[in-house]
């Protein structure tokens, strides 16, 4: 039996010019697809037909401790995007241990955390929408693909 370990300090996660660190406990970085890869229907006679959903959008949730330096920059970028300019930023996630790579050129914050202070350290959760994601599968680091093209 072999032991495998991971180190969150080796994971690179950026949004615009902000590089995340000082993650919260538990699920620090969560990246989920917006939709299933396939849509399927079962006919009246029991045959299943499927089709590709062609949805390559993802949702990232980044959990940071309240003391993380990224909060000020994230608020600034969010307000710029929400203003007249509608600026979006590139999002990159790279885990060299597993080979996972996620990139979206036009990401934006779609959920800002509330601000809470107490005598215990608190966490803040940022939601970042990732349209048209480019993924690199774990088994082949040289082959980037969009989920809709398999």
The β-bridge partners of 39 are: 51
Calculate the average pLDDT of the chain.
85
What CA–CA distance (Å, rounded) separates 116 from 113?
9
Give the domains, in start order, of the chain with CATH numbers.
Answer: 9-38+51-136 (2.40.30)
- Model confidence pLDDT, tens digit, residues 7-26: 888 899 999 999 999 988 88
More confident residue, 146 or 38: 38
pLDDT bracket for residue 110 (50, 70, 90): very high
How confident is the model over 127-143, as pLDDT tens digits?
999 999 988 765 544 44
What is the maximal distance between C-alpha atoms in the chain?
Answer: 62
pTM across the whole model: 0.80
Mean pLDDT of 36-61: 87
DSSP for 11-64, please give it.
-EEEETTEE--SB-SS-SEEEEESS-SEEEEE-TTS-EEEEE-----EEEEEEE
Alpha helices (H) in the chain, listed in sequence order: 70-82
């Amino acid at each position: 039996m072999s032991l495998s370990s991971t180190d969150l300090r080796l994971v690179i996660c950026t949004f615009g010019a902000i590089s995340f660190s000082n993650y919260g406990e538990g699920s620090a970085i969560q990246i989920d697809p917006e939709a299933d890869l396939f849509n399927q229907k079962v006919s009246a006679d029991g045959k299943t037909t499927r089709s590709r959903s062609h949805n390559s959008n993802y949702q990232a949730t980044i959990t940071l401790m309240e003391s993380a330096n990224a909060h000020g920059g994230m608020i600034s970028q969010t307000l710029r995007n929400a203003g007249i300019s509608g600026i979006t930023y590139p999002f990159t996630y790279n885990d060299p241990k597993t080979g996972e790579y996620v990139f979206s050129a036009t990401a934006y914050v779609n959920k800002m955390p509330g601000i809470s202070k107490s005598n215990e350290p608190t966490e803040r959760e940022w939601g970042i929408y990732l349209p048209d994601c480019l993924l690199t599968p774990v088994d082949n680091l040289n082959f980037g693909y969009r989920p809709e093209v398999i």
